[in-house]
Structure 1
Amino acid sequence: FIDEKRDEYSHENNGDVTGFDYHYPLKNKFDSIYNHYKDLKNQHFKQLQNNLKHNLDVRQAIIEELKSLIDNPGESIQDTLKSVNELRERWKNAGPIPRDKYNHVWNNFHFHIERFYDHLHLDREARDLDFKHNLEQKQKIIARVEELVNESDVTKAFRELQSLHKIWKEEIGPVSRENREELWNKFSELTRQLHDKREALVAKAKEKEEENLAKKKEIIAQIEAVSNETITAHSAWQGQIEKIEALRTAFFQTGKVPQEVNEDTWTAFKNAVRNFNAQKNSFYKDIKKDQQDNLNKKLALVEKANALKDNDDFNVTTPIMKQIQEEWKKIGHVPRKYSDSIWKDFKDACNHYFDRLHAKRNEANSEEIEAFEKKKDYLEQLKDFQLTGEHKADLDAIKLHIENWKGFGRVPHARRHIEGKFNKILDALFDKLSLSKKEAEMVKFNNRLEQLADSDDSRKLENEQIFIMRKIDEVQSEIFQLENNIQFISNAKADNPFIKEINKNIDRHKEELKTWKDKLKQIRSLKQQE
């Protein structure tokens, strides 16, 4: 995130980032937690080193005690054997020591254990019994290692081998001199065989990692190639975003690379994606700037319309108000959060003026009063109208009612609510017919257009056209937003319920968009006939 902000700053300052300073509270919180983690980590490893040193001191003390038992015998053989076994048990439980000291310390301890047995002059029977027990334990280990050599899971077998080596060295004492070399050689040979299998596995894994490295380098090159393409349209950028998402997915699905180049590979990938994102963000930042410019232009028109809405010189003001409406239609999108409010302000100002104009022109219009009375009576008759169930006949009957209604003429502006009552009855009738939603919508819309066309106020058709164009913009923006949302959902499958719901919503909006475009085409056709 901060890298993107730095790139934006660089873009705005011709590549200079010397003055970049971005305060990101979440980053500060992360730094605090991360520093605390590092402190705990350092304490842990410091304690670990102290423990290793302590364990080394304990083991060296055990060796000294063992040497003392051998060099200064003062107990019975049984007591001495008991003491040696206690030392061996303490040795087993003494814990790990520094890795570079392990072999020397273990060889030293083992040397004195063998020395103890070799210089034992009394109670040979006890010594031989211990040798026999140790021999049996080491033979069991060898038998188990023979099984591990044939184990299919080499990694698992190797881990167990390491554990068996520890038991061999730490927990089992020496065997008789005549068995020592043969037993150790056999154990060592089996260990070598298992090591060879593991090295072969590691070599194969290394080969696979090299293949993965080549694949990831190719993916990075493709990302860089996409970034170098010149894109100037939103739809084209959406295509580029899809390409990058596919390449990112392929990168993450590719396996490990050699450890020594892992960091460099990851950095190259991040830089390639970041470069693409910087160009994408720059493009959309320019779009936002254009929308802000459009907002300023529309705000100026709103201010102008408000200044004229109460003017009584209708002959002078009406052409100006119409010109303002024309200018409004030529201005592009504004930021989404201002779209509804600024349109409402502009529409209210225009409606206020033209309502006053309309009221002035329709004072004492006796013909409109007569038309109102006829329509009122006709509404009463319509209450008794029933559909027959025959689709075509019913549709023709409804259309005839519409023609009759239009034949009565216009009503006074103050009484136009009667049109709403008629339209409400039409809605109920259309709902009962098996018309598609779009068919019914277009029939009602054509009726509305003819009503508007009959009005002597041309701004009604203008306002309707502006309204439809605005709805088209809104639906297109909604489709864009929904499609954009899908791009930010990584690794989601097509049958994901959430993705399916979004796609269903997109299809619904596209159908709605088609209806609005058909309406726009219809109203433009009507205006050309005037």
Structure 2
Amino acid sequence: MSTMTEESTSLPAENQEQTQITENFATEEKIVEIPSLDLPANKSDLLGFFEKIKSIASESKTAADFKKIEEAIKDARQLFVNLRSEEKTAALAKFKEENENAEEGFNFKGDEIDQKIENVLGSIREIRQSFFQTLEKQKEKVLEGKTRLLDELRKLVDADENSDPAHVNASFKAFKKIQEEWKSLGNILGPQNQTFWESYHALVDRFFSNRSIFFELLELDRKKNLQAKDIIASKLEALAKKVNEGPLPKLLKEAEELFEEYKHIGPAHKEINEALWLRVKKALDVLFAEKRQIQEAQKAVFEENLKIKKELNDLMAHHARFVSSSISEWNQASKAVLALQEQWGKLKGGVPREAGKDVSHQFWANLKTFFKNKSEFFNKIDAERKANLAAKQGLIDQVKTLTESENAADNTQAVIELQKKWKDIGHVPEKQKDSIYKQFKEACDVFFNQIREKSKGAKDAEFEGNLTAKKGIIEELKSMLSDPSLLASLKAKKEAWDAIGFVPKKNLKEIQDEFRNTWNQVIDLAKTQPKEQLAAWGFELKGLPSESKQEERKPVSGDARKKIQTLENEIATLRNNLEFFAKSKNADKLIAEVEKKIASAEKELGKLRG
């Protein structure tokens, strides 16, 4: 019995070349159309992308298809991991913020889209696993079947020495059965395929060579083989003429199917068989030459894509080292990084496998580093602003405490100092900026309003006392009408009247009218008294202020009182709000102007009170 190695040594050159061409077809990668993922992408975009990939995977028939699919989802899967990681980080930060910075009990499950993506990715893995398991089983089945068929064919050839017609007929039927089953099994994936084909062709040649009794049958069979091979050769030549019309993958697929059929046709006459083979080989060479040319052109495109991706990665690496203390500069850098990411996503076409894998890994690592650094920067800013918020809340509490004090009036300077401290504290979180300022302003307003209310109460009491004093003087003047001897004190009573301050506004006209009427009556009385009597009483009409002058002064005093109240309110308001002008960009200038207004108002107030 001959071994596989011994049988392959007698294999004709045509059969060896057929095996090589089979390998050429076997190594041809089937091109599947993979949808592109537009960047930047959110999780909903990723879910849609993975579902399309799942649909493609379900229809895929070759290992090359699944390899292409795996390459297509790699970056998208990493992007999903990055997005999920960012969400987890944000969720943890929020959890810690709500749980006094504790991580215990934190459990991040993601959302419904996360679960859907995981399920789709799991389905893709199951489809791929099932495909390769089936492929491995098919390989084992083909290997086992072809090993068995070679053993059967070898036994058939070795035992083919009986020239009995019944045996010859049975032997040929057995050979045809082996031949059909061999064809139905297909090729073995791997290096063993060539060895099996070499042994098969060697045994087939021995089968026909050793059976002289079958010459007539062989002749008929070879004529049929000749006709079948000629048809296939013509079809391959027609495909070769269409090489520039394309598409090439479709032409190669048709050529492969024709060549598979050609391999399973038995031999024709040797001379004609060689000529047919040259025709087939020449047609296939044209197709393979075009394939190599396209691959070379594709290689140049891949190299150019790699160059561009390296340039984008260099720019991304620069941003990965970015450092700044400015929020606006970080935001500008983020826009630049997202623009690079968009450029990366829009770059179509492949790259050399290993080099492309490395540069892609570096690019996404640099992108992740940038956003990690940005996150750390803003976390630091947030921490500082939260501390500032706590400090400002403390100032609000202090103002409220001073307001509740029994000696609130003595705390005015302390509140002003707190307003200065407020100005020196930095920014707070944006969403609390307006509310915390409003709380502080309201607390200060309450304090100063309380001071003003207490001051107003004291003045009201003073004015009531003045009213009582003036009523007393009027009564004393009325006493003079019944006792003229009291006229000696008239001048003193007038001076006492003028020395008394303001009275409540509601009583002003009434008290003035009563005084004027009484005064005029007293003067009229004095004019009727003898001069000697007046002298005896020590009364001198000369030198007493005229009522007309008094009447002219009183309205002015009423206006002055109103002006004094207005100035007092204005000064209190200016002092109360002085520190709040510090929020303006021109703080120093505004403060100086306000202080100048306060000084001017106090000066005018002093004149009115004097």
TM-score (norm 2): 0.52
Query: Residues 158 and 63 (structure 1 numbering): CA distance in 2 closer, same or farther, change over 3 Å?
Result: same
1:76 is displaced (CA, Å) by 7.5
What residue in structure 1 maps to residue 335 of structure 2?
Answer: 242
Q: Distance in 2 between matches of 1:337 and 1:74?
A: 102
AA of the residue aligned to 2:280: F
Check the 8 A contact 1:223/1:247 in 2, yes or no: yes
AA of the residue aligned to 1:319: Q
- What CA deviation, in whole Å up to 9, does each residue of 1:162-191 have, x standing for no partner? 333323224x34333332111112211222
What residue in structure 1 maps to residue 35 of structure 2?
Answer: none
What residue in structure 1 maps to residue 573 of structure 2?
Answer: 457
Report SS of the residue matched to 2:287: helix
Check the 8 A contact 1:149/1:190 in 2, yes or no: no
1:338 is displaced (CA, Å) by 4.4
Check the 8 A contact 1:113/1:174 in 2, yes or no: no
Query: Residues 210 and 528 (structure 1 numbering): CA distance in 2 closer, same or farther, change over 3 Å?
Result: farther
What residue in structure 1 maps to residue 402 of structure 2?
Answer: 308
- What CA deviation, in whole Å up to 9, does each residue of 1:231-285 have, x standing for no partner? 3322222222222223333334344331121222123323433443344334323
What residue in structure 2 maps to residue 52 of structure 1?
Answer: 139
Is residue 2:239 matched to residue 1:145? Answer: yes
AA of the residue aligned to 2:440: F
Given candidates 385, 394, 416, the residue that maps to 1:291 is 385
Query: Residues 49 and 367 (structure 1 numbering): CA distance in 2 closer, same or farther, change over 3 Å?
Result: farther
Given candidates 185, 188, 211, the residue that maps to 2:278 is 185
Report SS of the residue matched to 1:280: helix
Q: Distance in 1 between matches of 2:169 and 2:456?
A: 129
What residue in structure 2 maps to residue 200 of structure 1?
Answer: 293
1:67 is displaced (CA, Å) by 4.4
Query: Residues 117 and 67 (structure 1 numbering): CA distance in 2 closer, same or farther, change over 3 Å?
Result: same
What residue in structure 1 maps to residue 201 of structure 2?
Answer: 110
- What CA deviation, in whole Å up to 9, does each residue of 1:488-510 have, x standing for no partner? xxxxxxxxxxxxxxxxxxxxxxx
Q: Distance in 2 between matches of 1:286 and 1:24?
A: 24
1:58 is displaced (CA, Å) by 1.0
Q: How large is the RMSD of aligned CA atoms in angstroms?
A: 4.9
Given candidates 168, 171, 185, the residue that maps to 1:94 is 185
Query: Residues 138 and 315 (structure 1 numbering): CA distance in 2 closer, same or farther, change over 3 Å?
Result: same
1:312 is displaced (CA, Å) by 3.6
Query: Residues 110 and 134 (structure 1 numbering): CA distance in 2 closer, same or farther, change over 3 Å?
Result: farther
1:52 is displaced (CA, Å) by 0.8
| Aligned ranges 1:107-506 → 2 under 5 Å | 107-118=198-209, 119=211, 120-123=214-217, 126-128=220-222, 130-170=224-264, 172-228=265-321, 231-254=324-347, 255-336=349-430, 338-339=432-433, 342-343=436-437, 345-362=439-456, 456-458=572-574, 461=577
Is residue 2:152 matched to residue 1:61? Answer: no
- What CA deviation, in whole Å up to 9, does each residue of 1:353-385 have, x standing for no partner? 3443344455579879xxxxxxxxxxxxxxxxx
Q: Distance in 1 between matches of 2:319 and 2:216?
A: 85
Report SS of the residue matched to 1:105: helix
Check the 8 A contact 1:358/1:457 in 2, yes or no: no
1:103 is displaced (CA, Å) by 1.6
Check the 8 A contact 2:154/2:203 in 1, yes or no: yes
AA of the residue aligned to 1:127: D
Report SS of the residue matched to 1:297: helix
Q: Distance in 2 between matches of 1:76 and 1:130?
A: 24
Report SS of the residue matched to 2:188: coil
AA of the residue aligned to 1:244: V
Identity of aligned residues (%): 22
Check the 8 A contact 1:117/1:127 in 2, yes or no: no
Check the 8 A contact 2:423/2:579 in 1, yes or no: no
Structure 2 unmatched runs, 5+:
1-81, 90-105, 464-503, 507-561, 598-610
Q: Distance in 1 between matches of 2:260 and 2:588?
A: 86
Q: Distance in 2 between matches of 1:3 and 1:284?
A: 17
AA of the residue aligned to 1:309: T
Query: Residues 179 and 527 (structure 1 numbering): CA distance in 2 closer, same or farther, change over 3 Å?
Result: farther
Larger Rg: 2
1:348 is displaced (CA, Å) by 4.7
AA of the residue aligned to 2:344: F
Check the 8 A contact 1:134/1:174 in 2, yes or no: no
